[in-house]
Amino acid sequence: MKDGRIRVLIVDDSALVRQTLSEILSSDPAIEVMATASDPFVAAERIAQETPDVITLDIEMPRMDGLTFLRKIMAQHPIPVVICSSLTEEGAQSRLKALEYGAVDIIVKPRLGSRQFLEESRVTVCQAVRAAAAARVRAPSANRPVEPKLTADAVLARRSGAMLETTEKVVVVGASTGGTEALRTVLEALPADAPGIVIVQHMPELFTRAFADRLDGLCRISVKEAEPNDTILRGRALIAPGNYHLLVKRSGARYYVEIRDGPLVSRHRPSVDVLFRSAARYAGPNAVGVIMTGMGDDGASGMAEMKEAGAATIAQDEATSVVFGMPNEAIKRGAVDMVLPLPAIAASILAHAR
């Protein structure tokens, strides 16, 4: 960093987007727009002259696409990269590929709109760049063979007795920067009859469905983007849809989720604090809370409420976090029972859910 400020290289083929991003990022006194580039070839020239602290990168560009450029960066000169992309469902899978290839985060391109939208874009873009600058750039992770899922009948048979009791466990997980691959590590390690899981991962709308579908193909449990009134079931993880808050609710012995619109909470929508507070209220000692890698303090207050309500609380440790902000804030507030490396979290979830 130069003069303590984060130097950013903006790579996008749209002059309007480059200008808008430059204005947004320059409004943050901790960030300096070092240069802009209309395509990866121009970007490579800029990097050869001066190495940025963070790159914002579009996917669809002339001469060379962003994914190809990203793979070259990570192989030759790893630099924290934030994918800044248009909001399209068709392109969601390629954006998720970028996370596999080593990108730190995905954000939606700011567009002209209401004052509230532009202000939320400013918060999102600047926070993503700050988080990327603090991130540990990691090598892309490898896929492993996937064991067959249990059939629906088998899952129902395993949970039928437990759901009649009031001690059924609910696992709530919050993550942000670096969380997509961390979640993959945890969910891949869980057996097909693992306790029901509800997840908030800071991610734009439309991308969350593709992310859930990707995990569903990798894990023994089922993974889906949450829909209103989805029941929280053993062998299934529900992921908050982008741009909506997700809450745990309870009706008798049945736990289910509620999806809500509303303002940003702890600078996010969905917010981990909203999820954790709902778990504290409706699940109490039946809940297990996990806070993972991410920038900022979202989830720390909610986890404190969970611990006060008798829930078991787990934080990812610094060594395995891409960014230690969110876990560290929860730890500093005395909200965490256990601080664990990423590979140990799944086993701890299972132990507390027995």
Of the candidates 302, 298, 263, the residue with the CA atom closest to the CA atom of residue 281: 302
Structure tokens of 286?
């039946």
Q: Does residue 228 contact residue 197 with C-beta atoms inside 8 Å?
A: no
Our answer to whether residue 28 is catalytic in this structure is no
Of the candidates 347, 187, 195, the residue with the CA atom closest to the CA atom of residue 286: 195
Structure tokens of 323?
């960014």
Q: Does residue 72 contact residue 140 with C-beta atoms inside 8 Å?
A: no
Distance of CA 346 to the CA centre of its chain: 17
Helix (H) or strand (E) holding 171: strand 170-175
Beta bridge partners of 85: 108
Structure tokens of 20?
């808008």
Structure tokens of 120?
């939320």
Our answer to whether residue 352 is catalytic in this structure is no
**Residue 160 CB neighbour total at 10 angstroms:** 10
Our answer to whether residue 271 is catalytic in this structure is no
Structure tokens of 295?
């920038």
Catalytic residue among 298, 317, 321, 352: 298
Catalytic residue among 202, 245, 268, 352: 202
Q: Does residue 179 contact residue 152 with C-beta atoms inside 8 Å?
A: no
251-258: long-range contacts, CB 8 A cutoff, minimum separation 24: 253/163, 253/164, 253/165, 253/166, 253/168, 254/163, 255/168, 255/170, 255/196, 255/231, 255/282, 255/283, 256/229, 256/230, 256/231, 256/232, 257/198, 257/226, 257/228, 257/229, 257/230, 257/232, 258/228, 258/229
Catalytic residue among 38, 85, 121, 176: 176
Torsion of CA 164, 169, 174, 180, to 10 degrees: -90
**Residue 125 CB neighbour total at 10 angstroms:** 25
- Indicate which residues carry an active-site annotation: 176, 202, 298
